Amino acid sequence: MHSFPEPALALVERMTAAAAADPSRAIAIQGAPGCNSHRAALEFAPDCLPLPCFSFEDALDSVRDGLADRAMIPIENSQHGRVADIHFLLPESGLAIVGEHFLAIEHALMAIGAGPFTAAYSHPQALGQSRHYLRARGIVPMSYADTAGAAAFVREQGDPGACAIAPKLAAQLYDLTIIEENVEDAADNTTRFVALAREPLAPGALAGAIAMTTFIFEVKNVPAALYKALGGFATNGVNMTKLESYQQGASFAATGFFADVEGAPGDAPFDRAMEELAFHCKDVKLLGSYRQARPRG
């Protein structure tokens, strides 16, 4: 808690106390009050109690330790790619993905005064999503742990030459002036979040719904192993909507893959495709099946 800037601490303390009184409604988020994860949690579950955590690990630990029922974690952005190292964080957490949410990102430039500004503080993702805007104005991007925390930091420092890029909600919470809205470089800027819980959804919870399943896998180190492993999805008509590789260890010899597909255990085409995948893999780990929040394709 005390890693947050002083202007955010009172809010964090109140929200933490509210979550502690009713953990079943608590959703752990990474960032100070007013961040995009805060917005995503309220859109996903309007009656929830957001629990601010300083890091992704803290948010996941809060769920695992029973301080929150779920966590809302950003995993990818339409403009800037991967947000969190989910390939490592999710398997280590022992939690399961139980939902997804797509959040339209609208960044605002905010400060204690009207400028001119020499530095803009925000999360690296927000800075990357606004890099053309900042470069055109000669404002130096300065990385911070999260967007709303950056807004609280600007309020705490009181530097008239500093500004923050954060959701409009942060300006309200930390008494900053919004200099300009919608400073993101792309109007369709969107971040995908996943909801994580201690237990996976029961198979019956997905009855009648279009389901997604997320998993990681490592193929055997033989020629054409990946081609053969993925063939089962094509032959069984299972749509793979995401496939991303990542290195495991320092040898650069073991490559892992992170994938999303349409379908869930109990669907015959999905089960056949996963059986074929497992035959060609050293390891396969399901991270969760959940309702599709947005049609793919």
* Ordered domains of the chain (ranges, CATH): 6-105+190-197 (3.40.190.10), 108-181 (3.40.190.10), 209-291 (3.30.70.260)
| CB 288, CB 264: distance < 8 Å | no
Q: Which of the two residues, 125 and 275, has the higher pLDDT score? A: 275
pLDDT tens per residue across span 70-99: 999 999 988 888 876 777 888 889 999 999
**What digits encode the pLDDT tens for the residues 266-294?**
999 999 999 999 999 999 999 999 999 99
Count the Cβ atoms, other than its own, within 10 Å of residue 45: 18
Mean pLDDT rounded to a whole number for the chain: 93
pLDDT classification of 248: cutoffs 50, 70, 90: confident
**Residue 50 in this model has a pLDDT that exceeds 90:** yes
Rounded Cα gap, residues 230 and 238, in angstroms = 10
Residue 103, beta-bridge partner list: 191
Using DSSP bridges, classify how beta strands 70-77 and 190-197 pair: parallel, antiparallel or unpaired. Answer: antiparallel
Q: Residue written as tokens 């301080």?
A: 67
Name the nearest CA neighbour of 41 among 18, 67, 12, 69. Answer: 69
Is the predicted pLDDT of residue 63 greater than 60, yes or no?
yes
In this predicted structure, which of 113-117, 211-215, 250-254, 293-297 has the lowest mean pLDDT? 250-254
Q: What percent of the chain has pLDDT over 90?
A: 83
Distance from C-alpha of 82 to C-alpha of 84, rounded to nearest angstrom: 6
Q: 154 with 166: CB under 8 angstroms?
A: no
- 244 closest CA partner among 233, 255, 257, 253: 257
Distances (CA, A) of 262 to 1, 126, 192, 246, 288: 38, 29, 16, 22, 12
Instruction: Specify the pLDDT at position 296.
Output: 87
Per cent of the chain over pLDDT 70 is 97
Residue 1 predicted with pLDDT over 50: no
Region 170-182: mean pLDDT is 97
pLDDT over 60 (residue 247):
yes
Q: Determine the residue type at 59.
A: A
Annotated catalytic residues are: 191, 193
pLDDT at site 86:
75
**Among candidate residues 200, 204, 201, 232, the one with its CA nearest the CA of residue 217:** 232
Mean per-residue pLDDT, 217-246:
93
How far apart (Å, rounded) are the C-alpha atoms in residues 77 and 82?
A: 6
